[in-house]
Structure 1
Amino acid sequence: MGNAVNLSPKHLLMVLSVVLIWGTNFIAVYIGLKGFPPFLLCAARFALAALPWVFFLPRPKASFKLIFGYGFFTFAMQFGFLFSGIHLGLSPGLASLILQIQVFFSIGLAFLFFQDRPGTWKIFGSLISFVGIGIVATHLKGSGTFIGLIFTLLAAFSWAVGNMFTKKVDADSPLSLVVWGNLVAFPFMVGVSLFLEGPVMILDSLQNMSWATIGAIVYIVYLSTHVGYGLWGFLIKSYPTSVVVPFTLLIPVVGFLSSALFLGEELPWWKLFASLFIMGGLVFNLLENQVKRWFGVIKD
């Protein structure tokens, strides 16, 4: 078990690597969507993330219903909505920020299903963050981009529902759970792609696949999914959650900076202002005890 207060230098480098991988993953998604429609990109991601690894990693110790629920919400629903949101015009930087709202959806669902009552500070943090969402909503231009925002919020909610299933699944290997979850999501997303995007679009996308699209898929599958989730699972097992989870606050920072650097995404005042509210709310949630100490509510 790692140190309960500080990460070792090696593990600090590890967690920062995960933040960098996940923060820049939104650029890979953006590039991938230039070559593939959103549901086909999801299907490709799920197929390569699950196969052939599912033959080498044991199925998590849980009922099929729980594994299905985890895979359906954490992967099929989350990434189906997220990829669609970016496809409809929501910028990768904003998407990386909005997705963090899953923290507050998780708090609400944990209260409903596990009687895990949130404290006043967590509720206050949620309200602060949703002010940031309001700022984003009032400054988006075009109905497509606004629908993209709604879809990304639905992606965050789907991730939160998936977290409820994760609490019920006994997985010795976090990577095993990820692989089996992707296996569940794959046939569902193939069906959605065939129904909504159609065989003609799918065939055309596959026949005209560029090296940029291939590179984006490789990044999404092997770096973001396998390496990212594998390292994250190890860190969560090795350290208290309160030591590791606050590093997710850096993901939108990396998302914004990388999108501005590589995609030329603009950073007007309202994006920065909205980020302050959303990130401020996350600080109240993830660092609740520290915030209480700052205000003298609890003593060391």
Structure 2
Amino acid sequence: MNLVTTRDRLLGLTVVVLWGLNFLAIRTALDHFPPFFFAALRFLVIAVPVVLFVPRPNVPARWLIGYGLGFGVGQFAFLFWAMDAGMPTGLASLVLQSSAPFTVVLGALLLRERLSAVQVAGIVFAVAGMTLIGWDRAHHAALLPVVLTLLAGLSWAFGNLANRRAASAEPMRVMLWMCVVPPLPLLALSLAVEGPGAGWDAVATSWTPAGLPALAGLTYIVLLGTLVGSGIWTALMSRNPAGSVAPFSLLVPIVGIAAAWIVLHEQPSVLALLGAAIVIVGAGAAVTGTHRPAAPAPGGQVASPAPVVSR
């Protein structure tokens, strides 16, 4: 991880900690809010001030909407559903990193990006690690939460590709305006699945002693996980090579698993930890493996498969 300055290395590690602890905040909030409604609420509290105070970025609407549907609607609907259905918090932070190899594969299939031998080997490693984790979960608990988390990673990958196609010189503004897309689809999903009153009843009781931890979790996700964490990440990506910054995201599961172990007493099996190590190695190779330039995207931009990580 060859960042230019010590300050940037420390900032990168700060983001790792913020995003790793983000999964504890999600777990706390999901103990009070229904999953689809909470996913909508997580974006709604950002979307309102963005519409009022942040100028819209100059990017095609289809890519902004695609980014919001993939990263916002798909990723968080599946992730929160998975965690509500029993996906362990620490393991969720790890399996979500499947977005890295998914992004590389989709980039090759849809954007005609060429894969290096290192990237192919990394994808094979990551898939092997995910298979090991799935096999372990199938013998100890339900497999469905793992599948849902993989679908969250796949949705994130589709969002990454839309973000790359937007090719904006204002990535932070694009990220903020992406948050405008998910609330209505997620509220509609919540209405259809969870009913018209479940989410709003949870909001009404969030100011009670029982609901305050969930409100604190929501505040952490919005302020520290999204605005501070993504703001620092965007700044790092803007002044350092992407290959020097992207690997930091692979440290997030280490913080997530350790925090869940300490705070929630989630003790992963030896097999799951072995799978986690294989996934992190494979995803790292998939993201940072060198490859020949891909076919230029519109405007002369070259699409990169490296995930654009924002929480």
2:238 equivalent in structure 1: 237
Q: CA deviation at 1:274?
A: 0.7
Give the conservation status (yes or no) of the 8 Å contact 1:129–1:277: yes
Uncovered stretches (5+) of structure 1, i.e. residues with no partner: 290-300
Instruction: Determine helix, strand or coil for the equivalent of 2:180.
Output: helix
1:292 equivalent in structure 2: none
The 3 A distance-change label for structure 1 pair 144 and 264 is closer
Instruction: Name the structure where helix makes up a greater proportion of residues.
Output: 1
Q: CA deviation at 1:59?
A: 1.2
1:119 equivalent in structure 2: 116
In the TM superposition, structure 1's runs of 4+ consecutive aligned residues that sit over 6 Å from their partners are: none
1:218 equivalent in structure 2: 219
- Within 5 Å, which residues of 2 pair with 1:1-300? 5-140=2-137, 145-209=142-206, 210-288=211-289
Q: CA deviation at 1:82?
A: 0.6
- TM-score using structure 1 length: 0.91
Instruction: Tell me the amino acid that sits aligned with residue 284 of structure 1.
Output: A
Q: CA deviation at 1:288?
A: 3.1
Uncovered stretches (5+) of structure 2, i.e. residues with no partner: 291-311
Deviates more, 1:168-177 or 1:178-187: 168-177
Q: CA deviation at 1:143?
A: 10
| Number of corresponding residues | 286
The 3 A distance-change label for structure 1 pair 106 and 204 is same
Q: Distance in 2 between matches of 1:46 and 1:203?
A: 15
Q: Distance in 2 between matches of 1:54 and 1:232?
A: 22
Instruction: Determine helix, strand or coil for the equivalent of 1:246.
Output: helix
Instruction: Tell me the amino acid that sits aligned with residue 35 of structure 2.
Output: P
Q: What do you get for the CA RMSD once the two structures are aligned?
A: 1.7
Q: CA deviation at 1:204?
A: 2.5
Instruction: Determine helix, strand or coil for the equivalent of 2:58.
Output: coil
The 3 A distance-change label for structure 1 pair 236 and 53 is same
- 1:172-215 C-alpha deviation (Å, 9 max, x unpaired): 33221122111111111111111110123223212222110100
Q: Distance in 2 between matches of 1:208 and 1:165?
A: 37
Instruction: Tell me the amino acid that sits aligned with residue 49 of structure 2.
Output: P
Q: CA deviation at 1:142?
A: 8.2
2:305 equivalent in structure 1: none
Deviates more, 1:267-276 or 1:168-177: 168-177
- 1:214-246 C-alpha deviation (Å, 9 max, x unpaired): 000001111111111111111101000111111
Instruction: Determine helix, strand or coil for the equivalent of 2:267.
Output: coil
**What is the percent sequence identity of the aligned residues?**
30
Instruction: Tell me the amino acid that sits aligned with residue 267 of structure 1.
Output: P
Q: CA deviation at 1:144?
A: 7.7
